[in-house]
C-alpha cells in the first residue's frame, strides 16, 4: 500500500523521504497549511514555500482499526490525528507507535518510518519515551495513572 502522491503532495513526500518535516507557508499571509494544496485557503494566494517545522505536536484524536492491513495480521492498529506544535492550524495523521494507547492532548514526536529509498511514512510516538527502552513494562492501568507531565499545568 503505497500512498499516492499528487501534484501538490509529491514534493512533500520527497522531502519526508529525505528526513525533512515541513508544511506549506503562504507567501502572502504566512498561513501554514497541510496537506499540500495549490493555494491558500485564507487569502487565495498561490505563492507558497516549504516551511520546516518541529516534528512535534499533541494528540487530538485517534481511531482504532480492527481491519488488518495484511493477511494474518491480527492486532488492531491505531491512527492518531496530531495537531502540530509549530503549526496549530495543521493536523497530520499517522500510525501510533506507542506501546500503550494514546491519550488526548499528550505530546508526541514524529517518527520517520523508512519504507524504501523513495518513501518514508510519518508515524507518531509519545514524546520523551524514545530511547527509554522497555524499562517500565506496561504500566499505567486505568485513567488514574495519568499525569506525569510537568511541562504545562492548567491555568
Ligand atoms: Zn495566505
Cα 96 from Cα 109, distance rounded (Å): 10
Tens-digit pLDDT profile for residues 20-59: 999 999 999 999 999 999 999 999 999 999 999 999 999 9
Q: What is the pTM of this model?
A: 0.76
**Per-residue pLDDT for 153 more than 90?**
no
How much distance in Å is there from the Cα of 9 to the middle of ligand 1?
18
How much distance in Å is there from the Cα of 113 to the middle of ligand 1?
31
How much distance in Å is there from the Cα of 18 to the middle of ligand 1?
27
How much distance in Å is there from the Cα of 64 to the middle of ligand 1?
35
Tens-digit pLDDT profile for residues 88-128: 999 999 999 999 999 999 999 999 999 998 899 999 999 98
Residue 151 grid coordinates: 511541562
CATH class of 10-128: mainly beta
Three-class HEC string of 59-123: EEEEEEECCCCCCCCCCCEEEEEEEECCCCCCEEEEEECCCCCCCCCCEEEEEEEEEECCEEEEE
What is the DSSP-derived secondary structure letter of residue 16?
H
**Per-residue pLDDT for 70 more than 70?**
no
How much distance in Å is there from the Cα of 56 to the middle of ligand 1?
23
The answer to whether residues 40 and 146 touch, using CB atoms and an 8 Å cutoff, is no
Cα 30 from Cα 43, distance rounded (Å): 10
Amino acid at each position: 500500500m503505497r500512498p499516492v502522491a499528487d501534484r501538490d503532495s509529491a514534493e512533500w513526500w520527497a522531502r519526508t523521504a529525505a528526513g525533512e518535516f515541513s508544511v506549506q507557508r503562504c507567501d502572502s499571509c504566512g498561513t501554514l497549511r497541510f496537506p499540500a494544496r495549490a493555494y491558500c485557503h485564507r487569502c487565495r494566494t498561490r505563492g507558497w514555500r516549504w516551511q520546516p517545522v518541529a516534528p512535534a505536536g499533541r494528540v487530538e484524536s485517534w481511531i482504532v482499526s480492527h481491519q488488518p492491513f495484511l493477511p494474518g495480521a491480527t492486532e488492531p492498529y491505531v491512527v492518531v490525528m496530531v495537531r502540530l506544535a509549530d503549526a496549530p492550524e495543521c493536523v497530520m495523521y499517522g500510525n501510533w507507535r506507542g506501546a500503550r494507547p494514546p491519550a488526548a492532548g499528550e505530546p508526541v514526536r514524529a517518527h520517520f518510518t523508512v519504507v524504501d529509498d523513495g518513501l518514508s511514512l510519518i508515524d507518531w510516538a509519545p514524546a520523551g519515551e524514545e530511547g527509554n527502552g522497555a524499562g517500565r513494562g506496561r504500566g499505567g492501568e486505568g485513567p488514574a495513572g495519568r499525569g506525569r507531565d510537568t511541562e504545562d499545568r492548567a491555568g
